[in-house]
Structure 1
Amino acid sequence: MKIFKSHRIQFRACYLFMLLLMLGSCDLQEETQKQSYAKQYDYHPIITKKWQASWITTQKVLSEKNAWIAFRKQFEVENVEASTILRIAVDSKYWLYLNGEIILFEGGLKRGPTPNDTYYDEVDLSGKLQKGKNTLALLVWYFGKEGMTHKSSGQAGMIAELYQNGQLMVQTDDTWKAIPHPAYISESADPEPNWRLPESNVVFDAREDISVWTNPKFDDSNWPSAKTLGTGITTPWNNLVKRPIPFWKDSGLKAYENKISFPFISKGDTIKCKLPYNTQATPFLKVNAKAGEKITMLTDNYQGGSEYNVRAEYITKEGEQVHESLGWINGHVMYYVIPEDIEVLDLKYRETGYDTKLAGSIHVDDDFYNQMCKKAVRTLYVTMRDNYMDTPGRERAQWWGDVVLESGEAFYALSRSADALMRKGMLELMNWQRPDSTIFSPMPAGNWNQELPGQMLMSIGYYGFWNYYLNTGDLETIKKVHEPVRRYLSLWKLKDDGTVTIRKGGWTWGDWGDNRDIPLLMNTQYYLALKGYAKMSEAIGRQKETDSVAYLMKGFKTAFNEQFWKRDHYRSKDYKGKTDDRSQGLAVVSGLADSNKYEAIHQVLQTEKHASPYMEKYVLEALYKMGYEDFALRRMKERFSKMVRDTTYTTLWEGWGIGVEGFGGGTTNHAWSGGGLTLLYQYAAGIVPTSPGWETFQVRPQPGFLKHISAVVPTVKGTVKVELKNEETYQLVIEVPVGTKTTIYILSTYERIIVNGEELRPKESEGYKVFEVDSGKYTIKAE
């Protein structure tokens, strides 16, 4: 009978995937990949005209990598009141000056909206031009090598068009001037940055500098004309895709935290300058020196994660001089290695980073969790720039296991400008889908193409794409990724027993650490992917697919429990290691495990502790879902204690230790370790959206042994505030934004519920008194 049942499940599954494939081919109009890419990304453009400018570069042959180019153009303007937009694309980065003043510090995005195309920027210059002659100057940094975050075009170049009131005024052509900047040296002494990074060490020889070349009065008559390479949409840059995220936040030059008395004469020591926290920074110096001395600038993170990252070098000219190295590096301490007898006049730094605010907050009466959240937010922010990163040192790469957790944290901790980074990542992930329907990460990438099946399932599923929609209400993006998600899921086949066949992909990773039950892990992740896909299908009105996937999920859940439940824990047939805590947690949070298994799983999670900080989030969430909030808090404190209590680092680590005690190289800043932040918001404070875009949400606190909780959540509908006092009298103060509703849950053990001074008699459900309120401020007392 059992064999017959398994075959029946397999038949249903095969029927579902045939149906899904047919639905995809019938409902979608055929469209070329390039047309699809352009349609997806060119949203709300300011300038919609076809590109007319030419790509330009230098007449002189450049080095193959790490090339720096100076461009200049002078032009006349009469109307300085007009709306003025500069749209510009480069490979790879640029710094923009207008009439000698810096307008944009590091424009451009690493290449990769698709495997072939290039991002462009739109810079608003309205009100910045002067009547008469104006001078545009650009310094362009061409990486010229592949990395885990960048697909090199293979050609240094720049294209730009200046529009006033929608009319083209200036464009790149052979009237521009262009030279390789002679002060930048393409090669540096070893060690070079590790192979994962497209950036090179930045070496500047001030003896070869071009004085004030960005200023209007600079004489560029001996500069050669730029070399044109092709007009508009042309190889190797191909389609130009509008930048979908903000320009960087720029702090300006700031003094270091430790007080240093200037001036002083260097004794040949390394000067340690303290940054306020782990941050993305560019170092600045002002010195008086002889010509030919080399100053090295790097951070304490220079060899973070066991691999060399990026450093800067400056070779002095004669006399007093200032310099800022333009390639960002990160860490807690900036080191200046300054030769003997150089007079140091000033040392500063500039912090740049993703333009979002640390708008959310959560505070409880146990300071351990406050420090954990503080470090989680700092770790999250330092891993955001062109893309979500695993770490800002060793890789700067958009691994999707990390992205899922990072975006979950961002919805609670950051202002809503952060949502654009997740959207960008989602579209990149699916626009890099290969003809065989596989997807992979990290990407954009020029030197990596391996699929990590488990991470890919998590990315497209309930905690990834669906969570984005739940928090943003951005249905257009869901429509764009739905079909690629369907194609990827169609690669996954079920076995005769009704469970999923494990796809090896390029790297069957699962998680860091030991005792990984890979078949069990991937079956739970597959179910979460189906769950997310079913919800996305329903959201875009594809009811047949929704019903079909729901039917599959029902059969799959039965097969999963038949095959993997072993009386008191889950385990795959051939797995011989200790019980995998990760998989027990994922079985709970996915909904595969029913409540009759909760106590057994709870017992397992008291002794089995194998997950890395990445997977520990799902273990802890399972404890909350099962109702063991006290133990969730205790396990959280036990597992994260070492990194939270550490006083050296303001960020959370990749593993439970750092260096050789850690995983994957042991970096000191990995945002996947911040999952506890999300859990405190969602479970301890109980604040969770229940419909897309926070039109409705619930407040169902599970404070455990915490007595005071105060939380602020910056949602797309406005700010949600919750303050809980869990003492002799239970009091809950909630602020509900305009245009939203919230459902409030109070434990049924309380007999009287008083809302804004009036007694309420709410309905009861599953151990809670439940009632709904509209926008406003509410003080709720339970007695």
Structure 2
Amino acid sequence: MKKYFLILLLIGCFASAQAKSDWKARWINTERCQSAANTWLAYRKTVDIEKVPQTLTAHIAADSKYWLWINGKLVVFEGGLKRGPSLYDTYYDSVEIAPYLTAGENTIAVLVWHFGKSGFSHVNSGLAALLFEAIAPGVEIVSDASWFCSLYDAYQNTEAPFPNYRLPESNIRFDARMELTGWNQPGYKGRMGVAVVISEVGVAPLGKLVERPIPLFKDYGLKPYVDVRKSAAGDTLYCRLPYNCQVTPYLKVEAPAGKTVHILTDNYEGGSANNVRAEYITRDGVQEYESYGWMNGHEMRYILPEGVKVLDVKFRETGYNTEFTGSFQCNDPFMNELWKRSARTLYITMRDSYMDCPDRERAQWWGDEVNELGEAFYALSPSSHKMALKGIHELMNWQREDGVIFAPSPAGNWRKELPLQMLASVGWYGFYTQYYYSGDSSFVAGIYDRLHRYLHQVWQVDKSGLAIERDGDWSWGDWGEDIDMGVLTNCWYYLALKAEKAFALQLGKTADAEDISRMMYSIEKCFDTKFWTGTAYRSPGYKGETDDRAQAMAVVSGLASADKYPALVKVLKKEYHASPYMEKYVLEALFQMNEPAFALERTRQRYAKMIDQYPDCTTLFEGWGIGPDGFGGGTTNHAWSGGPLTLLSQKVCGIEPTSPGFRSFKVCPQMGTLTEASATVDTHYGKIQVSLNRKGSKIRMTLSVPAGTTAEVPVSKGKVKRLEAGEHTLTISSRTL
């Protein structure tokens, strides 16, 4: 069994991106390097190039991050990805560098930050090193013993408090008295150590190299803060950011040597645990510094000692390279603000991977990712689709030898399974949604066998065919109380089987598809017998209040028949137990039961505190409020809370694909009490745009259908209009929707 598992691991490891094996470069560092936590290394190489090639791709890897300058120009701001594509391997970047080179002498400079410790989003290799390779006819630049490399001693550890154990990043202290001024510029005359070859490529501890499957991060450049104010004592600058974002702080000061400036954000204790912070120790005179470890929040704070004169402060936003090309607008300002905050929450929880929050954990919890990947199709440009694809491969490549899958992964200090989150991940709202909405099925063959193993060896069914509850390592269905795990388990398992069946048919595995169909049929036939009470769904022996989540999942899974909808709507008008994570499915169930007016009303009830009581916050919370209402530590920027973004575009404006990748789609709006609404969805074919104006039971629709696609619009009872590419204006009846 172990041999079988290892074969699957190796297959999956390289399914997400092309693995490069023909390396001429070697891993290098310096003799002084002990690969301790928070190690910084400065590398430098001068090369003569007779003729610059038209194209020259540099392949660059490091554990953990790097910054690249060529001829004094910053080419990559924070390259590298947290490890790893599998337990043993490392990502590398491909960077086009020809535009930065000149005929004659060229200077390559690289700064490497070695985290040196594991976390919920990173597994430490234990080796601080750089790999650099750029080869073209007449040009060969490879990392070897001809490079220079020095420990950058100006970068140091701070004293306590430190970031909490979930984060692999350390606080950064920079002592400018030890700065290697100009080390990354042409003509540097200072002394640097000689590089040493520390490892070949493809062996432990850095393993095989897999090409980065997502774009390099977007650098928005240094910008002034929205507002800067001083504390009453004059010792702190409070610098307002335009919204909650991922930033690195910059300062220019005049000071005597040895003064310490403390830098942190208002989210330093986001989610009740320490995030990262920075310290800058001055040298004598005028000086500039940017701390390269990103932080997040609405406000940057510079705490200044006496004698430090601030000449300038700025910030650099960086993040996942995508655009906000999706949109939603309606005549209700509350819903507009909720969509906007959902989109901002989505973006700040994207970087190396999807994450639950950018402060407490920065970890790829897949319950969060399921909601996030669905939102990305409605809010962002198609470049965002690569993020979930990376996550799918990582989740399955980290499968344990016992067949269990777990999140967050990659992770160096976590291996616990949350069973219901894993069912959600591999199922209809997770893996299948990623395939169907993107049109990209490339991942299916590589993960199918491991998915099948998880669903049919790890999970078991009873004699009636219903899924048997599993505690796993953490029996978690949602934050909050009154969680009916029996009903939820069977709904999530059914949806996982539904996705697996679709994948089996895709791959021509007809025997698997037939077996899965029989299993689904058994659940369909026995579900009501075990769980339906006549007024609601409840597990035998469950003692809590009727669970709104369980009713919703019965609806969206398709296990609840339409004749039960009136009773279920009554339950959802009474019971309010779900956290923002599961509320998305409650609201979706209401739309599915043709209750758009109440879906919007419940949305307002649930999100009113977040939106109305915190007008300066641009992101959504982990729970329904802050503090006691926060759930799980209560971050103010939590990935799973943005479910309404999907529903406002997908259900209110009605835009849903009817074939993979939106090659065909339907527009079936459920406007509820709204009179105006519009949405844009950016697909690989172009932008779908719809504008709606409702008067009574009539909706005036303007629709833009991208070239190469078709749309279906129900115009009256029993009549669907098929629209080809172009601009269309038509009137439909809301009573038929």
Report the TM-score when normalising by structure 1: 0.91
How far off is 1:544 after superposition?
A: 2.8
Q: Show CA shifts across 1:356-409 (max 9, x none).
A: 000000101111100000000000000000000100000000000000000100
**Residue equivalent to 2:11:** 36
**Residue equivalent to 2:643:** 675
Q: Show CA shifts across 1:105-153 (max 9, x none).
A: 0000000100110000111002211111111111100000010000000
**2:68 and 2:77 in contact (8 A); partners too:** yes
How far off is 1:164 after superposition?
A: 2.0
**Residue equivalent to 2:722:** 772
Correspondence 1:413 to 2:379: yes
Hey, what's the Cα distance between the residues in 2 that align with 1:773 and 1:543?
Answer: 34
AA aligned to 2:153 is P
Hey, what's the Cα distance between the residues in 2 that align with 1:64 and 1:268?
Answer: 38
**1:52 and 1:231 in contact (8 A); partners too:** no
Secondary structure of 1:607's counterpart equals: coil
When residues 38 and 429 of structure 1 are mapped into structure 2, their CA distance, relative to the original with a 3 A threshold, is closer
AA aligned to 1:249 is K
**2:408 and 2:414 in contact (8 A); partners too:** yes
More deviation, 710-719/298-307? 710-719
- Segments of 5+ residues of structure 1 without an aligned counterpart are 1-20, 22-28, 749-763
Correspondence 1:245 to 2:245: no
Question: What is the root-mean-square deviation of aligned Cα atoms in Å?
Answer: 1.9
Instruction: State how 1:383-422 maps to structure 2 within 5 Å.
Output: 383-422=349-388
Secondary structure of 1:711's counterpart equals: strand
Hey, what's the Cα distance between the residues in 1 that align with 2:9 and 2:443?
Answer: 17
**2:231 and 2:237 in contact (8 A); partners too:** no
AA aligned to 2:408 is P
How far off is 1:746 after superposition?
A: 3.0
**Residue equivalent to 2:185:** 215
Correspondence 1:709 to 2:684: no
How far off is 1:39 after superposition?
A: 3.7
Instruction: State how 1:735-754 maps to structure 2 within 5 Å.
Output: 735-748=704-717
AA aligned to 1:413 is A
**Residue equivalent to 1:722:** 690
**Residue equivalent to 1:50:** 22
**Residue equivalent to 1:560:** 527
Report the TM-score when normalising by structure 2: 0.96
**2:13 and 2:393 in contact (8 A); partners too:** no
Secondary structure of 1:445's counterpart equals: coil
Hey, what's the Cα distance between the residues in 1 that align with 2:394 and 2:231?
Answer: 50
Match of 1:376 among 342, 352, 357: 342
Match of 1:535 among 491, 496, 502: 502
**Residue equivalent to 1:256:** 225
Secondary structure of 1:322's counterpart equals: strand
**Residue equivalent to 1:631:** 598
Correspondence 1:130 to 2:105: no
**1:458 and 1:464 in contact (8 A); partners too:** yes
Hey, what's the Cα distance between the residues in 1 that align with 2:373 and 2:14?
Answer: 25
**2:715 and 2:731 in contact (8 A); partners too:** no
Match of 1:194 among 144, 164, 183: 164
More deviation, 296-305/428-437? 428-437
Correspondence 1:453 to 2:419: yes
Hey, what's the Cα distance between the residues in 2 that align with 1:604 and 1:695?
Answer: 38
Secondary structure of 2:301's counterpart equals: strand
Q: Show CA shifts across 1:172-216 (max 9, x none).
A: 11111111101011x211110000000000100001111111112
Match of 1:547 among 511, 514, 523: 514
Correspondence 1:602 to 2:569: yes
How far off is 1:538 after superposition?
A: 1.9
Hey, what's the Cα distance between the residues in 2 that align with 1:610 and 1:34?
Answer: 39
When residues 747 and 269 of structure 1 are mapped into structure 2, their CA distance, relative to the original with a 3 A threshold, is farther
How far off is 1:155 after superposition?
A: 1.1
Correspondence 1:285 to 2:251: yes
**Residue equivalent to 2:436:** 470
**2:460 and 2:467 in contact (8 A); partners too:** yes
How far off is 1:478 after superposition?
A: 1.7
**1:268 and 1:339 in contact (8 A); partners too:** no
More deviation, 336-345/193-202? 336-345
Match of 2:409 among 424, 443, 447: 443
Hey, what's the Cα distance between the residues in 1 that align with 2:51 and 2:122?
Answer: 39
How far off is 1:547 after superposition?
A: 2.7
Match of 2:560 among 584, 593, 605: 593
**2:13 and 2:86 in contact (8 A); partners too:** no
How far off is 1:612 after superposition?
A: 0.2
Hey, what's the Cα distance between the residues in 1 that align with 2:435 and 2:375?
Answer: 15
Hey, what's the Cα distance between the residues in 1 that align with 2:16 and 2:100?
Answer: 28
How far off is 1:35 after superposition?
A: 4.4
Match of 1:577 among 536, 544, 565: 544
Hey, what's the Cα distance between the residues in 2 that align with 1:364 and 1:268?
Answer: 44
**1:111 and 1:150 in contact (8 A); partners too:** yes
**1:629 and 1:702 in contact (8 A); partners too:** yes
**Residue equivalent to 1:121:** 93
Q: Show CA shifts across 1:583-631 (max 9, x none).
A: 1000100001000111111111111100000000000100110111111
Identity of aligned residues (%): 47
Hey, what's the Cα distance between the residues in 2 that align with 1:661 and 1:376?
Answer: 19
Hey, what's the Cα distance between the residues in 2 that align with 1:99 and 1:168?
Answer: 16
Number of residue pairs the alignment of both structures matches = 730
Instruction: State how 1:219-368 maps to structure 2 within 5 Å.
Output: 219-220=189-190, 222-258=191-227, 268-368=234-334
**Residue equivalent to 1:72:** 44
Correspondence 1:170 to 2:138: no
Hey, what's the Cα distance between the residues in 1 that align with 2:278 and 2:142?
Answer: 33
Q: Show CA shifts across 1:703-734 (max 9, x none).
A: 11111111110012211011111114521111
**Residue equivalent to 2:132:** 160
How far off is 1:659 after superposition?
A: 2.6
**2:91 and 2:210 in contact (8 A); partners too:** yes
Secondary structure of 2:493's counterpart equals: helix
**Residue equivalent to 1:758:** none
How far off is 1:466 after superposition?
A: 0.4
How far off is 1:541 after superposition?
A: 2.7
How far off is 1:63 after superposition?
A: 5.7
